[in-house]
């Protein structure tokens, strides 16, 4: 028999798990009106806590977070403008190259009419133009990749 009133901890234990409770605590609660009232109050409190809906965000978290994780738009749409710019550069380069070639060819033609040199120069010119054009393409690709990396970095943050 406990002469002192039960501690809050003991009462809570009794409310939560009566079967594993100390004999003295069970006995005290049955005999003591004060502790019984306290226990009933705890019982009510615990049952209300259980009935509380689980905490939830009142907004759709995934709806807000997901667009920031995945790309905002498909890659091909995002890169469309850059491809257009590169294509324009390439077309302009071909135009300029063929114009320059025409001038050069006319000079050569006038200098060495029907000379074998003109055909060799023509071949050299083709080679140079092809090299220059190839170089331009590779540089455009490198530039494009650099741009893409920067865009990806920006999208990530």
CB 9 within 8 A of CB 25: no
> Alpha helix locations (H) across 71-79?
75-78
The span of 4-12, 13-21, 48-56, 91-99 binding Zn ion (CB under 5 A) equals 4-12
> Which residue lies nearer to Zn ion by CB, 34 or 150?
34
> Which residue lies nearer to Zn ion by CB, 10 or 86?
10
35 touches Zn ion by CB under 5 A:
yes
Among candidates 151, 149, 147, which has minimal Cα distance to 139? 147
> Which residue lies nearer to Zn ion by CB, 9 or 57?
9
Q: For Zn ion, which residue of 21, 32, 82, 143 counts as binding (CB under 5 A)?
A: 32
List CB contacts of 11: < 8 A, sequence separation 6 or more.
25, 29, 35, 38, 39, 42
Measured at CB, which residue is nearest to Zn ion? Answer: 32
Question: Which residues lie near Zn ion (CB under 5 A)?
Answer: 5, 32, 34-35
């Amino acid at each position: 028999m406990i002469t002192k009133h039960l501690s809050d901890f003991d009462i809570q234990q009794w409310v939560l798990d009566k079967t594993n409770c100390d004999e003295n605590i069970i006995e005290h609660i049955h005999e003591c009106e004060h502790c019984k009232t306290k226990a009933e109050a705890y019982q009510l409190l615990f049952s209300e806590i259980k009935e509380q809906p689980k905490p939830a965000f009142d907004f759709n978290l995934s709806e807000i977070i997901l667009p920031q994780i995945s790309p905002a738009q498909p890659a091909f749409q995002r890169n469309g403008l850059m491809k257009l710019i590169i294509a324009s550069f390439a077309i302009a380069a071909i135009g300029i190259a063929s114009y320059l070639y025409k001038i050069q060819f006319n000079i050569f033609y006038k200098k060495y009419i029907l000379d074998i040199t003109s055909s060799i120069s023509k071949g050299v010119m083709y080679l140079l133009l092809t090299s220059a054009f190839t170089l331009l393409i590779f540089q455009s690709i490198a530039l494009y990749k650099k741009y893409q990396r920067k865009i990806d970095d920006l999208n990530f943050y």
